[in-house]
Amino acid sequence: MFQNIGELLVLFWRTLRSLSMAWRHRQKVFDQLFEIGNASLLMACILSLFIGGVIALQTGPVLAERGLSSAIGGLVGISVCKELAPVMMSILIAGRIGSAMAAEIGSMRVYQEIDALRTMNINPIHYLVLPRLVAISSALPVLVVFAVLVGWMGGATVSVFNDDINVSFQAFFSNLREIVDLGDVVNGLFKSFVFAVIIGIVSCHQGLQTIGGPRGIGRSVTKAVVNSIVLILILDYFLTRFLMYFD
């Protein structure tokens, strides 16, 4: 495990050092951005619509029983933007994009394409890892912005149409504006940025470490997704704790 962490840090450091070359690889970054957006935007919106909805559904009636139904906007707003949207979107992206990254790089490794790059003096970190890392760390926060907005809409819709809650749109968003400020949204975006870096580095690392044939690729994909999710959930606690100092 410690060897893996060490390798991850080395890969991250090497990628960071080559960041100045990102502009040179902009076409690959755009390709990856398109891939991520195209594959995930609709799914992200659907997922967050229902996440917002279910939060409202679970908490709304309890608040209403105690005469606190007007507080539902703030509750849904805070929980979606600070916690649920960044974490759930990161898990979605780990599953959809992290797995694709590990599989693509893994198959390139197995079928000697990475060796071929090296014989042409093309650094695989610049060619493969850098564009993916830049793309995922730019795309995930943008997806989270969409997820937050749609999540709020989902919460509001359930709050308005559920008879046990019965809060108007205006009341929902008025309370949301009162409780949620820009700092809360930035807090969630910062988390999603860190999670994106984790997904990118873990997935590329697993891809580059692939050995064996199709079974090896499958193993790498599984490891990439599982390790990313585990790291995201563990780091989420510490990041939340850290970000509390700035509240």
Partner 1 sequence: MTAPTEHGVSVSVKNLRKSFGREPVLKGLSFEVERGEIFVVMGPSGCGKTVLLKHMIGLETPDEGEILIDGESIQTAEVMDKYRMAMVFQSGALLNSLTVGENVGLYLSEHRLKPPDEISRVVREKLELVGLKGQEDRYPSDLSGGMKKRVAIARALVIEPQLILYDEPTSELDPLMAVVIGEEIFELNRRIQVTSVVVSHDRDLAFGVADRLAIMSEGEILMVGTPDEVRKSSNPTIHDFLNADFKETRTRERKPA
Note the residues at the interface with partner 1 (CB under 8 A): 104, 107-108, 111-113, 115-122, 127
Tokens of 194: 């860190």
Least Å distance, CB 106 to partner 1, is 13
Could you give the 3-state DSSP secondary structure of residue 211? Answer: coil
Supply the minimum distance, in Å, between the C-beta of residue 134 and partner 1: 17
Q: What share of the chain is helix, strand, coil (3-state, %, to 5)?
A: 85, 0, 15
133/231 with CB nearer partner 1: 133
Residue (109 or 191) nearer to partner 1, CB: 109
Q: Where are the alpha helices (DSSP H) in the chain?
A: 2-17, 26-65, 72-78, 85-93, 99-110, 113-119, 124, 130-161, 169-179, 182-208, 214-244
Which CB sits closer to partner 1, 31 or 236?
31
Q: Which is nearer to partner 1, 115 or 178 (CB)?
A: 115
Q: What token pair was written down for 160?
A: 């308005």
Residue with token string 């495990």: 1
**What's the min distance (Å) between Cβ of 178 and partner 1?**
50
